[in-house]
Amino acid sequence: MTNHYVEDYSPGRGALTPRAWYPLSDAKALSLNGSWRLRVSPTADAEDDSFAEPGFDAGDWARVVVPGHWVLQGDGCFGRPAYTNHRYPFPVDPPRVPTENPTGDHLRVFDLPEDWPADGGAVLRFDGVESCARVWLNGTDIGEFKGSRLPHEFAVGHLLERSGNVLAVRVHQWSAGSYLEDQDQWWLPGIFRDVTLLHRPAGSAGDFFVHASYDHHTGRGTLLVDSDIEGRVTVPALGIDIATGETVTVPVCPWSAEVPTLYEGELTTEGERVPLRIGFRTVESADGLIKVNGRAVLFKGVNRHEWHRETGRALDLETMRQDVLLMKRHNLNAVRTSHYPPHPAFLDLCDEYGLWVIDECDLETHGFVEQAWRDNPADDDRWTPALLDRAARMVERDKNHPSVIIWSLGNEAGTGRGLTAMAEWIHARDTSRLVHYEGDGSCRDTDMYSRMYAGHAEVEQIGKELDGGTRKRRELPFILCEYAHAMGNGPGGLADYQRLFEAYDRLQGGFVWEWIDHGIAHPGLGYAYGGDFGEELHDGNFVCDGLLFPDRRPSPGLVEYKKVIEPVRIVPDGTGGSVRVTNGYDFADLSALAFEWSYQADGETVASGSLSVPALAPGESADVKLPQPPAGHEAVETQWTVRAVLAADTAWAPEGHEIAWGQIPVAARPLPVLRPAVRPVLGPVAGDGVITLGPAAFDARTGAPKAIGAIEVSDLRLDVWRAPTDNDEGTDWLTGSCDAKLWRDLGLHRMRHRLDAVEPGENALTVRTRVAPAASEFGLTTVYRWTSDGDRLRLAVSVSPDGEWPAPLPRLGVRLALACADTVRWFGAGPGEAYPDTKSAARLARHESTVDGLQTPYLRPQENGARADVRWAEIGGLRIEGDPAFHLTARRWTTEQLDAATHLTDLTPGDTVWVNLDHALHGIGTASCGPSPLPQYQLRAQRAEFSFVFSQLH
Ligand code: GAL
């Protein structure tokens, strides 16, 4: 078979040895990105190789954009994307792959630019091709490679013509390499990163290794550049001019993610000047901690897959920059490049703006878990050369980035000799960084203990060093390389994790899973997820689990994370007159920040000013005096808000950008009560099928309100159901239980309301009911008691469980329908949604939105949009005050419609606005992959009393 290499263990043939990557000036590089000819065949051997011959007429072939994935172009005529989490979408028979192996033959004819130098050689570089490629230039077979997200270079100088060069690339969707690339993401074949022709003058730099360390005792940096070609290294700002191989030590400002000082330099060889960007830093594992420049680092990280809703894993520079800016603006300080080395330009951005990077190798064999890891390539010597090739291609390409402080062997590849060989090779090649791999609990190959999705209690045990494990593991620092699964509404419990990270030194933080939803823009569905392209085997919307929506709008989860990891803590100091400010940075003092205070009465800011805070060093705290509270607001709830903002523009955000904030309550809220009646209040008056009480009219038969003043109200009743979130649908790792399943089994989505009595009394209308699911003996005895002072109407609800409820409740409150509503105003937490365990970012203030604006567009529709701690709200002509404060939700569809929808396009707004006034909500947790809500956030069915005062707005 001609394509034998597709199915063999080898990494390839013909490529040059891997080396450092660096951007080249245009004069030395010819981009071969752009429009290519493409022919897609259904099998690997459907076509012969004649297309690679010069003179082949591809005039009737389609066109495709390189970099790109052919399945995301051509409106489906080149095949379709497919999504699986860890199951291989082909029979597991390594290294063989199916005969049905979509194959893309790519052709590009190019001329050399006029000024292309005649001397020297040339290198053809592919930065990423999925899953393998065979390459011909001008009819000559120059080689083959696997390793989709890794660079491959070929020497081609001897083959180049001035014009009419024919570059032919045959790409197969499946190859032996696919067994090593079983990451949880879309399968997307294609030449998805840059293709470049590089001029290599005689005497040009080959590989070079910049060693730039920092001694925090002396404040001096040491520079040594190893190069396989002799040359000189200059760093003008430091007065450095040394030969390669020579060491120099000078005073420097170190590089850190917080203060990413880079020095511009140059490596000059006989034939070339290579730009260098040098960051001095020393990474070590010391005293059981990951330290940089002598200090322990706390990772506030995220896992980043490369994703764009239209182009998949083909990302342009602006999108990469947007990711980095969004990360910096949301207080993130670290990124794990899950689960492969990213486009090299992304690491330049991390160097420049400052992010700690765990650079992960393109290796995952997760599908073997289905057969208890039998035949796992990571433990099979035949595969070891391919594994080592991958390790080398990552390390050699990225070794000169100061931001990269940890190498990761890969993800979910089981355990085995291949991984050990990779770790040994990496440790020997680069002693200046640490090695990570999560999959081996013994930590034999790694420099840190790493886990994913461990629950809070276990993390605390690890923090206390009570977790056991191998001796080596017990001595290692700990990170959560994945936690807080950001799928749909959530993740819940972030603040609780952060409290642990900050309490125990051994816990050096974590990386939220994951950065962005991998939704694919789809004309009919808005966004497509697994199964939407007719895949037989797929994992649904499990691929949409990011902190960003696919259009890169931050989800509430990212807003929450920003607050939870804020590097400055601003809390009440207990005296009422001052505020305690703590610097939570690892390296920077607070001199880059300005502080502002404001004072709110009934949620409205009535005074503000600036606050002088000392430039505290990392870890330091100060109590800062607040001004005298403004007078005249004694009768209402009052509070301070103190904000830390950027004092000046930075590379990543403008002056005034908010970094951190805190609120300090002053006077509590007077609870809403009915005023003494302005005129004698009549109790309920029974009329013609109607009972009147103050401003309200009730149906005399059902006791349900029909109107409050002129505002039509219908369907008011107890509600316990919510459209399950992705986290509700998940199975808790610890208990094995799934809230949504319990709820549906119990019938909470189809509660029955039995009317027991409508009792117009002297002062109140009392309506007695029993609310219970069919086929079950459990119920909630629910009494609605209505009173009025003439203008205002009070509803007191009391709920008592009947029987031992075996599950938490999704929600507990009343829902009602309004004939119309648009603007929503409230005094409570906001502006965004907030649930019991996702509430950190919501601040107490007056907020305004619209019914549509309250919706959070999770790709698979589910419960969303609740506003928490609402004291009062105005909606649809009604003012609603709560005792106690409540959660407010309003939408133009019912919970049942929300529950039934699979895509946002299934939701069609009706005229009615459905409003939920919730006394309590069940927490969110992160059971879509991990633990369900902590006990304190679970909503237990127990006795509850809550009330609302309604009045018509005039
Ligand atoms: C982890 C895995 C990730 C992703 C996540 C769930 O086990 O490493 O790639 O699959 O679970 O979204």
Radius of gyration of the chain (CA): 31
Q: 339 CA distance to ligand 1 centroid (A)?
A: 10
In 344-485 the beta strands, taken as DSSP E runs, fall at 356-360, 404-408, 434-436, 449-452, 478-483
Statement: residue 275 has pLDDT above 90? yes
62 vs 35: CA distance, rounded Å? 10
What integer pLDDT is reported at residue 671 of this predicted model? 87
Average pLDDT of the residues of the chain: 96
Closest CA to 29 of 101, 144, 105, 123: 123
Q: Does 85 sit in the ligand 1 pocket, CB within 6 Å?
A: yes
Neighbours of 773 (CB within 10 A): 21
In a domain, 678, yes or no: no
Q: Does 43 sit in the ligand 1 pocket, CB within 6 Å?
A: no
The per-residue pLDDT for range 35-64, each reduced to its tens digit, is: 999 999 999 988 888 999 999 999 999 999
> Which helix H or strand E contains 312, and what residues bound it?
none
Q: Does 185 sit in the ligand 1 pocket, CB within 6 Å?
A: no
> Pairing mode, if any, of strands 434-436 and 404-408?
parallel
Closest CA to 194 of 353, 313, 37: 313
Q: Are residues 532 and 494 in the same domain?
A: yes
Q: Does 15 sit in the ligand 1 pocket, CB within 6 Å?
A: no
Q: Does 726 sit in the ligand 1 pocket, CB within 6 Å?
A: no
The per-residue pLDDT for range 331-350, each reduced to its tens digit, is: 999 999 999 999 999 999 99
Closest CA to 176 of 251, 87, 95: 95
Q: Does 452 sit in the ligand 1 pocket, CB within 6 Å?
A: yes
Tell me, what CATH number does 702's domain have? 2.70.98.10
Which of 85, 511, 515 for a ligand 1 pocket mutation test, highest count of atoms within 8 Å of Cβ? Answer: 85
At 347, the amino acid letter reads L
- Domain count across the chain: 5
Tell me, what CATH number does 275's domain have? 2.60.40.10
Q: What is the token pair recorded at 33?
A: 């990105």
Local structure of residue 422 (DSSP, 8 states): H
628 vs 743: CA distance, rounded Å? 51
Q: Are residues 515 and 552 in the same domain?
A: yes
195 vs 126: CA distance, rounded Å? 5
Q: Are residues 611 and 698 in the same domain?
A: no
Q: Are residues 764 and 725 in the same domain?
A: yes
Q: Is 631 exposed, middle or buried (0-12, 13-18, 19+ CB in 10 A)?
A: exposed
Q: 288 CA distance to ligand 1 centroid (A)?
A: 27
In a domain, 938, yes or no: yes
What integer pLDDT is reported at residue 47 of this predicted model? 85
What integer pLDDT is reported at residue 454 of this predicted model? 97
Q: What is the token pair recorded at 720?
A: 């316990």
Q: 363 CA distance to ligand 1 centroid (A)?
A: 13
At 503, the amino acid letter reads A
Tell me what the mean pLDDT of segment 568-595 comes to.
95
Tell me, what CATH number does 340's domain have? 3.20.20.80
Kindly indicate the confidence band of residue 899, based on its pLDDT and cuts at 50, 70 and 90: very high
Q: What is the token pair recorded at 237?
A: 């700002």
Q: How far is CA 812 from CA 745, 747, 827, 863, 875, in A?
A: 18, 15, 21, 14, 20
Q: Does 545 sit in the ligand 1 pocket, CB within 6 Å?
A: yes
In a domain, 679, yes or no: no
In a domain, 677, yes or no: no
Report residue 382: phi and psi, to 5°.
-65, -25
What integer pLDDT is reported at residue 162 of this predicted model? 96
Q: 86 CA distance to ligand 1 centroid (A)?
A: 9
Q: 429 CA distance to ligand 1 centroid (A)?
A: 29
Closest Cα to atom 11 of ligand 1: 929
204 vs 424: CA distance, rounded Å? 31
Give me the DSSP letters along 574-590: SSSSEEEEEE--SS--G
Which of 366, 513, 514, 926 for a ligand 1 pocket mutation test, highest count of atoms within 8 Å of Cβ? Answer: 513
Last residue of a domain, one of 165, 200, 235: 200
Q: Which atom of ligand 1 is nearest to the CA of 183?
A: 9
377 vs 364: CA distance, rounded Å? 10
Query: Tokens 């590849």 map to which residue?
Result: 413
Which of 84, 181, 336, 412 for a ligand 1 pocket mutation test, highest count of atoms within 8 Å of Cβ? Answer: 412
At 888, the amino acid letter reads L
**Percentage of the chain modeled with pLDDT above 90:** 93
Tell me what the mean pLDDT of segment 227-236 comes to.
97
Q: Does 482 sit in the ligand 1 pocket, CB within 6 Å?
A: yes
| Residue 90 three-state SS | coil
* Residue-range definition of the domain harbouring residue 73: 3-200
Q: 306 CA distance to ligand 1 centroid (A)?
A: 14
605 vs 596: CA distance, rounded Å? 13
390 vs 397: CA distance, rounded Å? 11
Sequence-distant (≥ 6) Cβ neighbours of residue 75 within 8 angstroms? none
Alpha helices for 233-377 (secondary structure H): 317-329, 344-353
Sequence-distant (≥ 6) Cβ neighbours of residue 465 within 8 angstroms? 474, 506
Sign of the CA dihedral with 840 first, then 844, 848, and 850 last? positive
In a domain, 856, yes or no: yes
Last residue of a domain, one of 563, 592, 621: 563
Q: Are residues 439 and 484 in the same domain?
A: yes
643 vs 596: CA distance, rounded Å? 5
> Which helix H or strand E contains 803, and what residues bound it?
none
Tell me what the mean pLDDT of segment 220-231 comes to.
97
Whether residue 339 has a cis bond before it, omega within 30° of 0: yes
In a domain, 69, yes or no: yes
| Residue 889 three-state SS | strand
Q: Are residues 139 and 221 in the same domain?
A: no
Closest CA to 247 of 275, 228, 282, 221: 221
In a domain, 547, yes or no: yes
Query: Tokens 């920003």 map to which residue?
Result: 562
Q: 811 CA distance to ligand 1 centroid (A)?
A: 29
Statement: residue 716 has pLDDT above 90? yes
917 vs 832: CA distance, rounded Å? 16
Q: Does 544 sit in the ligand 1 pocket, CB within 6 Å?
A: no
Tell me what the mean pLDDT of segment 127-135 comes to.
98
Sequence-distant (≥ 6) Cβ neighbours of residue 64 within 8 angstroms? 35, 36, 37, 38, 70, 73, 74, 78, 104, 106, 190
Q: 557 CA distance to ligand 1 centroid (A)?
A: 18
At 130, the amino acid letter reads E
Q: Which atom of ligand 1 is nearest to the CA of 339?
A: 9
Q: Are residues 260 and 294 in the same domain?
A: no
What integer pLDDT is reported at residue 46 of this predicted model? 84
> Which helix H or strand E contains 745, and what residues bound it?
helix 739-746
Q: Does 484 sit in the ligand 1 pocket, CB within 6 Å?
A: no
Residues catalogued as catalytic: 412, 482
In 395-466 the beta strands, taken as DSSP E runs, fall at 404-408, 434-436, 449-452
Q: Does 720 sit in the ligand 1 pocket, CB within 6 Å?
A: no
Kindly indicate the confidence band of residue 1, based on its pLDDT and cuts at 50, 70 and 90: very low
What does the buried/exposed string (b/e) look like for 69-91 if buried means 16 or more CB atoms within 10 Å of the residue's CB?
Answer: bbbbbeeeebbbbbbbbbebbbe
Kindly indicate the confidence band of residue 954, based on its pLDDT and cuts at 50, 70 and 90: confident
In a domain, 305, yes or no: yes
Q: Are 1 and 141 in contact (CB under 8 A)?
A: no
368 vs 87: CA distance, rounded Å? 8
First to last CA, the chain: 82
32 vs 24: CA distance, rounded Å? 14
Closest Cα to atom 3 of ligand 1: 184
Q: Are residues 874 and 817 in the same domain?
A: yes
Tell me what the mean pLDDT of segment 665-681 comes to.
76
Q: 768 CA distance to ligand 1 centroid (A)?
A: 49
Q: Are residues 80 and 111 in the same domain?
A: yes
Tell me what the mean pLDDT of segment 54-77 comes to.
96
Tell me what the mean pLDDT of segment 17-40 comes to.
89
Q: Does 517 sit in the ligand 1 pocket, CB within 6 Å?
A: no
Statement: residue 684 has pLDDT above 80? no
At 711, the amino acid letter reads I
Statement: residue 683 has pLDDT above 80? no
What integer pLDDT is reported at residue 2 of this predicted model? 47
| Size of the chain, expressed as the number of residues it contains | 954
Q: Does 438 sit in the ligand 1 pocket, CB within 6 Å?
A: no
> Which helix H or strand E contains 297, and what residues bound it?
none
Q: Are residues 465 and 592 in the same domain?
A: no
Q: 184 CA distance to ligand 1 centroid (A)?
A: 6
Which of 482, 511, 928 for a ligand 1 pocket mutation test, highest count of atoms within 8 Å of Cβ? Answer: 482
* Helices 494-503 + 456-463 axis angle, to 10: 10
Closest Cα to atom 9 of ligand 1: 184
Closest Cα to atom 6 of ligand 1: 929
Q: Are residues 662 and 791 in the same domain?
A: no
Tell me what the mean pLDDT of segment 895-920 comes to.
97
Statement: residue 888 has pLDDT above 60? yes
Number of H helices, E strands in the chain: 10, 58
Q: Does 869 sit in the ligand 1 pocket, CB within 6 Å?
A: no
Tell me what the mean pLDDT of segment 5-16 comes to.
94
Q: 527 CA distance to ligand 1 centroid (A)?
A: 21
Q: Are residues 539 and 592 in the same domain?
A: no
Tell me, what CATH number does 105's domain have? 2.60.120.260
Q: Does 369 sit in the ligand 1 pocket, CB within 6 Å?
A: no
Q: Does 184 sit in the ligand 1 pocket, CB within 6 Å?
A: yes
Q: Are 72 and 157 in contact (CB under 8 A)?
A: no
Q: Which atom of ligand 1 is nearest to the CA of 487?
A: 12
Last residue of a domain, one of 255, 282, 309: 282
Q: How far is CA 244 from CA 209, 274, 277, 289, in A?
A: 10, 13, 16, 33
The per-residue pLDDT for range 455-464, each reduced to its tens digit, is: 999 999 999 9
At 551, the amino acid letter reads D
Which of 34-43, 355-364, 731-740 bottoms out in mean pLDDT, i.e. has the lowest?
Answer: 731-740
95 vs 189: CA distance, rounded Å? 18
501 vs 683: CA distance, rounded Å? 57
Q: For the chain, what is the largest distance between any 2 Cα atoms, rounded to a whole number of angstroms?
A: 104
Query: Tokens 């059971």 map to which residue?
Result: 927
What integer pLDDT is reported at residue 7 of this predicted model? 92
Closest Cα to atom 10 of ligand 1: 184
